[in-house]
Amino acid sequence: MPAQHWPAPVATGPVAASVELPGSKSVTNRALVLAALAEGPGIVRRALRSRDADLMVAALRALGATLEPMAETSASVDWRVTPGPVRGGAHVDAGLAGTVMRFVPPVAALADGPVTFDGDPHARKRPMGPILDALRALGARVEGDALPFTVSGPVAGGEVTIDASASSQFVSGLLLTAARFEKGVTIRHSGPPVPSQPHIDMTVQMLRAAGVRVDDGERDVWRVEPGPVAPRDLTVEPDLSNAAPFLAAAMVTGGTVTVPGWPAVTTQPGDALRGLLTDMGATVHLTDGGELSVTGAGRIEGIDADLREVGELTPTIAALAALASSPSRVRGVAHLRGHETDRLAALATEINRLGGDAEETDDGLIVRPRPLHGGVFHSYDDHRMATAGAVIGLAVPGVEVENIATTGKTLPEFTAMWASMLGTE
């Protein structure tokens, strides 16, 4: 895969493709953590292979779990996971992965010695304070308030109040390990709304499937009883958020893209694409057999949408908005400033660099239609910025995406899949 300035292919006609997506990053990394914390060996099938998933595998191995591939393809692995006593003295590289930097520190607090964490230069800027303070309040010793930091257990557990408005992953991270703390954990959120509720629902649902008792009946309060985590044999769903740029290609080109294996019921936020793309003018159909198809009308409508619950879809929606025939407004996503990059600034800057009209608001973006021209679309080490550039490039000749290889965070085969969708491979 070329490392830099990837000439984004222009579509020569309506796409007509079926695109099979590898496993969900969010499900994979939760499943691996829960398997490593379980009472006995378990299996995680169709786990994603990508930088974020590889970092999680390395982190759990460093902490004492054994992960063995039972079967693998270039895109996915079936892992047999054998838990071990959580080992101190380890180092965890979080890369730029929110799931690693927020889900692994509570696991590390179970270790018999200190565990050090660091990550990419930009990862040191991502918010960590609330979850590290929570671990302190629950009994851990933590040096540092952001990457790099050191966590030393033991943690007794108990009650803690946090402000999770900057990331739902603070809640998910504490919840995933909570049952293994002597007293379990009760988390109360206090502050502006917590984003990405479906991702918290995903955590709660996967904990329950592993036999953990979770009470989420009161808004912004989660109670986890202490107890064992049951081993499972689970199959990871396709990554519906990574379906976004491919489905967007159907809209941009007035073609049809189908994605097999779309779950009938899911906690993945990518499922919201069905409604969002319909609102932007697509015809969306999900068959009983789990095949999702999106057909573009040849014209994209602007949208006014609150994406707080599904923030990771914002870069694709903004790319579509830049190609739409009427203005768009995206709200509720101030927390995207703490993602892989400040996504609101990055999207506005890169759309405007191509001649567009995008404006940051307090909590989102306004994008007005304007003819675009070619140029370099910077990715800021952000996989979803890179794929947003590819979407715009379908309709705008001369777009070059800087560092397309950053798509390896969650979709290492992106360029090959894109070429295959366009029939140009």
Ligand X SMILES: O=C(O)C1=C[C@@H](OP(=O)(O)O)[C@@H](O)[C@H](O)C1
What is the binding site for ligand X (CB under 6 A)?
Answer: 26, 98-99, 167-169, 172, 195-196, 199, 311-312, 335
Work out what residue 407 binds among ligand X, ligand PEP, none; the CB cut-off runs from 5 to 8 Å by kind: none
What is the per-residue binding string for ligand PEP in 282-321, x denoting contact by CB under 6 A? ------------------------------x---------
Nearer of residues 99 and 267 to ligand PEP, judged by Cβ? 99
Binding mask 359-398 for ligand PEP (x = CB under 6 A): -------------------------x--------------
Choosing from 51, 223, 335, 339, the residue that interacts with ligand PEP (CB under 6 A) is 339
Q: Candidates 35-43, 92-100, 201-209, 391-399 — which segment interacts with ligand PEP by CB under 6 A?
A: 92-100
> In the bound complex, what is the minimum distance in angstroms from residue 223's beta carbon to ligand PEP?
25
Q: What are the start-end ranges of the E strands in 113-210?
A: 115-118, 141-143, 149-152, 158-162, 185-189
CA–CA distance, 313 with 269 (Å, rounded to integer): 8
Out of ligand X, ligand PEP, none, what residue 196 binds, judged by CB under 5 to 8 A for its kind, is: ligand X
In angstroms, what CA-CA distances link 32 with 64, 104, 306, 364? 13, 11, 31, 33
Angle between the 169-178 and 98-108 helix axes, to the nearest 10 degrees?
30
63, 111 contact by CB (below 8 A):
yes
Among 67, 97, 194, 200, binds ligand PEP (CB under 6 A): 97
Of 101 and 303, nearer to ligand PEP (C-beta) is 101
Q: Which one of ligand X, ligand PEP, none is in contact with 384 (Cβ closer than 5 to 8 A by kind)?
A: ligand PEP
CB of 102 to ligand X, least distance (A): 8
Least distance in angstroms from the C-beta of 173 to ligand X: 8
Identify what 97 binds: ligand PEP, ligand X, none; CB under 5 to 8 Å per kind.
ligand PEP
d(CA 415, CA 78): 24
Please give the single-letter amino acid code of residue 15. V
Q: What are phi and psi of 359, to 5 degrees?
A: -135, 135
Phi, psi torsion values for 124, nearest 5 degrees = -65, -15
| Residue number closest to ligand PEP, CB atom | 98
As annotated, the active-site residues are 312
Choosing among ligand PEP, ligand X, none, which partner's interface includes residue 93 (Cβ < 5 to 8 Å by kind)? none
- Pick what 381 binds: ligand X, ligand PEP, none; C-beta below 5 to 8 Å, kind-dependent: none
- For 365, how many CA atoms within 13 A lie in the half-sphere containing its CB? 34
Query: What tokens appear for 77 in the block?
Result: 């692995």
194: which DSSP letter?
P
CB of 370 to ligand X, least distance (A): 28
**What would you measure as the largest C-alpha separation in the chain, in angstroms?**
61
The count of C-alpha atoms lying within 13 angstroms of the C-alpha of 249, restricted to the half-sphere facing its C-beta, is 33
List, in sequence order, the alpha helices (H) in 138-168.
Answer: none
Answer for which of 98, 106, 195, 389 binds ligand PEP (CB under 6 A) is 98
> What amino acid occupies position 54?
D
Degrees, nearest 5: CA angle 132-137-138: 95
Interface ranges with ligand PEP (CB under 6 A): 97-99, 312, 339-340, 384, 410
